[in-house]
Amino acid sequence: MSTLTAALYGALIAYLGGWFLGFWTGNFSLLLFVLTVATLAYWLAERFRFKPAREAAAAELERQDAVRRAELARMGIDKVDGDVAAAKEKLLMQPWWLDWTAGLFPVILIVFLLRSFLFEPFKIPSGSMIPTLLVGDLILVNKFHYGVRLPVINTKIIDNNPVERGDVMVFRYPVDTRQDYIKRVVGLPGDTVTWANQKLSLNGQPVPLTAQGEFYEADSRRYEPQFSEKLGKVEHRILVDPRRQSWFGPDPKTFPFADQCRYTPEGVTCKVPPGHYFMMGDNRDNSQDSRYWGFVPDENIVGKAFFVWMNFGNLGRIGPFH
């Protein structure tokens, strides 16, 4: 068993190393599930086989010692050298391969349950959600806000709150579901979303905007025009820079339901299909989102982002956000 355990740890190190070096994209949910199952198997084996076997061996050692002492006492020998306490302690000691598997099962199980059904941490890697979220923000995502989903396969088994316009959502990137993206919900199923000449309209009505001065973007070291936008009940800030207007057409798009979108050089208009959502970044001129790669299906939802729990470069960032 020690050889098998060492081989499993070697495979784990190789997998994590290749993931870290960029040779492949890892799946942490699947990895955590596999670790939970593997450590559970060791824990059960320890609970019902290995530990009882060690205890039986220790009891047999004590019995043999008692028999030997009784036999020597009948022979008139009262003083007997040797103490089995150290040997018994050694017999009862858990070997390293059980200590590093069965011993870790409770911790891994708690992490698996918390991450799968309650809250999951993420790190913001890009500036697409500036000014709401900055690069380096460590955020928490509520996994049960939209409903309870089975881990790994992400199938919803219990409904909860509906998705609302203005929510900041983490989801699996439709182009490559191994990656997680974070954007703001702009369009719900049935909505007609238009982004034209750097202005957003929903169902034919312009979304209210209020100028909020300029925002200093540290990465680009320049000031960007900042606005307050209201989507549904949520009022939040966005960046829109006329100097960086994107060009959208007329190249064809190939994502699912692309026929529901119409592209022009000024922008794009999309009718959101059932069971899908239209997502956009708050940094409107620096965000790859539904305008480019299409709609997010409901089964790709990970959860609702709601709290910055740490930013090592700016502790003032800690707190809730819209």
Q: Where are the beta strands (DSSP E) in the chain?
A: 119-123, 138-142, 147-149, 156-159, 168-172, 180-187, 192-196, 199-202, 205-206, 209-217, 222-231, 234-239, 261-264, 267-271, 276-280, 296-297, 301-310, 319-320
Q: If pLDDT is split at 50, 70 and 90, which confidence band does 191 have?
A: very high
pLDDT of 18-68, one tens digit each?
888 888 888 888 899 999 999 999 999 999 999 999 999 888 888 887 888
> Above 60 in pLDDT, residue 250?
no
Q: If pLDDT is split at 50, 70 and 90, which confidence band does 249 have?
A: low
Structure tokens of 43? 């824990």
Structure tokens of 6? 């060492």
Q: Give the span between the Cα atoms of 312 and 289, in whole angstroms.
A: 27
Give catalytic status of residue 201 as yes or no.
no
Backbone φ and ψ for 32, nearest 5 degrees, come out as -65, -35
pLDDT of 218-227, one tens digit each?
777 788 899 9
The predicted pLDDT at position 153 comes to: 84
Q: Give the span between the Cα atoms of 312 and 271, in whole angstroms.
A: 41
Active-site entry in 29, 116, 128, 290: 128
Give catalytic status of residue 183 as yes or no.
yes
Q: Establish how many alpha carbons lie within 13 A of residue 67's alpha carbon, considering only the half-sphere containing its beta carbon.
A: 6
Mean pLDDT of the chain: 89
Percentage of the chain with pLDDT > 70? Answer: 96
C-alpha torsion sign, points 156, 158, 163, 169: negative
C-alpha torsion sign, points 309, 312, 314, 315: positive
The predicted pLDDT at position 20 comes to: 83
Which of 153-162, 246-255, 259-268 has the least mean pLDDT?
Answer: 246-255
Closest to 277 (Cα-Cα) out of 262, 263, 286, 290: 290
Q: What is the DSSP string of 40-53?
A: HHHHHHIIIIIHHH
| Ordered structural domains, the chain, with CATH | 2-112 (no CATH), 126-320 (2.10.109.10)
Asked if residue 235 lies in contact with residue 228, where contact means CB atoms within 8 angstroms, the answer is yes
Q: What is the DSSP string of 245-280?
A: -----SS---STTGGGEEEETTEEEEEPPTTEEEEE
Q: Provide the whole-model pTM.
A: 0.83
Q: What SS3 state is found at 8?
A: helix
Active-site entry in 88, 143, 183, 304: 183
Region 2-26 average pLDDT: 87
**Residue carrying the six token digits 């979303």:** 193
Phi-psi region of 208 (alpha: psi -120 to 50; beta: other; left: phi over 0): beta
The predicted pLDDT at position 190 comes to: 97
Region 215-244 average pLDDT: 86
